[in-house]
Amino acid sequence: MIRPAEALRLLHINWVLLRHGLDEVILATHLFRPVRFLIYLSPFYWLRRNRLPAYPVRMRQALEDLGPIFIKFGQILSTRRDLLPADIADELAKLQDAVPPFSGQQARRIIEQAFGHPIEDVLDSFDEKPLASASIAQVHTAELKDGRKVVVKVLRPDIERVIRRDVGLLYIIAGLADRYWKDGRRLRPVEVVRDYEKTILDELDMQREAANAAQLRRNWEGSDILFVPEIYWEYTRTNVLVMERIHGIPVGNIKALKAAGISMEQLGTQGVEIFFTQVFRDNFFHADMHPGNIFVEPGGRYIAVDFGIVGSLTTEDQRYLAENLLAFFNRDYYRVAELHVESGWVPKGTRVEEFESAIRSVCEPIFNKPLSEISFGHFLLNLFQTARRFDMEVQPQLVLLQKTLLYIEGLGRQLYPELDLWATAKPFLERWMKEQVGPKAFTRKLKKNLPQMTEYAADMPILLYKVLRDASEGRLELNWKSAELEQLRKDARRHQRHLLAAISGASLLLTGTLLLLLGPGQLLPATAVTSTGLGLSALGGFALIRTWFKA
């Protein structure tokens, strides 16, 4: 049931879409298709038709008008190039968190409420003018009592309520799109909104972000290529984060980097090295490494900030990624197809030869470019798009990694256009693969599993005896459950209910129609026959329509 406030917000969303000439988004659904022709009768449609910007531009402008939550949704959606056409993804990538800051006094009250003390008892100084402002939080500079310079990140007031309201509306819109839009099944809008909800709600927890930062700092402690600022846990709460203040050159400021005498080739190579080290050594990677979150020290060391979004892979995912990239550069498309089937990401019945042919058709054109221009990110993107045609399930962790890889590649080639990603990445991939097979890998896995094996080994003779005894006495039973069979049962019960409702509705409709056709008799006067006939016909018709919509 949609609440009045949600209904008003939905009306506002539709008004914004219409104002930006996106009425075709609404009228393209199956629900409005019967009346779609009416728009072509409107003089307004023909007058403004040639004056509107391109469709992707209108989409971006509408999201900007709908506010910060929809802007954030558009930013995340722009990374789903496995779902969106390239022109729309490129335009949505231009969305910026141009959100006005909230007052410094309000930030002060939030901090004092979180600390339970006046701000002067905790901080020696606090600048009420924000250093930066975004859709979820804003950042202020401050100084601790011991003189350490820090930044204080404060969640926007009432932001969780706003997010939950707008995400709820996105679910309603996605549900309608999934049901009535012709591309709904392919683009899976509900799934996209679910991924967005998880991402944005995770960003609301400052302690979670602090934990991510602390983990990355441990992984890169003492590194001369990446610095992660320290988190001050005693001052960090769920809505307030306090961490070491950093000073550096924004990585997008190429002119300033060159003026500082920093090697562009070294920066480009080290960026790729950092990414692959996080993925294959640490299995914990910063997944929001756009230029706004990266700075460079005068000595050339990277500094990372904003740790709200991180990713990790299972060992199987790591192996899939490494083997796919190695097979891709060896042009072994059959192995790439095999990996997808073996992992279960495409149905077991998929013909490997057919899948191999589809992969070859999208990968071969990539090799027409020089090796220094080949993009890992676009390879993965093409691979995911092809695999989805073969019913590959979305792997959120790999989509996150592919998005991060595109960021890193774009940044690396912006800094050093001749960057050869393959030359940098190949040693990581080959070294990791060697560690996963052979005597060393066997010894490591055995050592890891030995405590659990020792714990269960003592119970094995008793369990084996019980199984053999039950088998010899005819008491051995096999309990088997199948998710597919259970789903078939549910579908059968649902179809049975729909059939029963349809029969009942048809019977009521037929009875009402007969009463109206045969007319009054000795037992029923004319008024009773008419009212009963109309009532039964209406009830039966309503039941049939309801059953038809549900089916």
Contact indicator for 209, 203 with CB cutoff of 8 Å: yes
List the catalytic residue out of 288, 306, 317, 420: 288
Tell me if 25 is assigned to a ligand binding site.
no
Tell me if 153 is assigned to a ligand binding site.
yes
Tell me if 136 is assigned to a ligand binding site.
yes
Residues β-bridged to residue 310: 286
- Give φ, ψ of 138 to 5 degrees: -135, 160
Nearest by Cα to 244 from 154, 309, 148: 148
Tell me if 464 is assigned to a ligand binding site.
no
Tell me if 190 is assigned to a ligand binding site.
no
Tell me if 528 is assigned to a ligand binding site.
no
Tell me if 440 is assigned to a ligand binding site.
no
DSSP string covering 225-293, please?
A: SEE-PPB-GGG--SSEEEEE----EETT-HHHHHHTT--HHHHHHHHHHHHHHIIIIIS-EES---GGG
Tell me if 139 is assigned to a ligand binding site.
yes
Tell me if 305 is assigned to a ligand binding site.
no
User: What is the C-alpha separation between 305 and 246, in angstroms, rounded?
Assistant: 9
Q: Quickly list H helices, 124-248.
A: 159-180, 184-187, 189-202, 206-219
User: What is the C-alpha separation between 107 and 84, in angstroms, rounded?
Assistant: 38
User: What is the C-alpha separation between 12 and 14, in angstroms, rounded?
Assistant: 5
Angle at 60 between CA 58 and CA 61, to 5 degrees: 65
328 is written with which tokens? 């891709």
User: What is the C-alpha separation between 48 and 36, in angstroms, rounded?
Assistant: 17
Tell me if 361 is assigned to a ligand binding site.
no
Is residue 288 annotated as part of the catalytic site, yes or no?
Answer: yes
187 is written with which tokens? 């683009």
Binding-site residues from annotation for ATP: 131-139, 153
Catalytic residues: 288
Binding-site residues from annotation: 131-139, 153
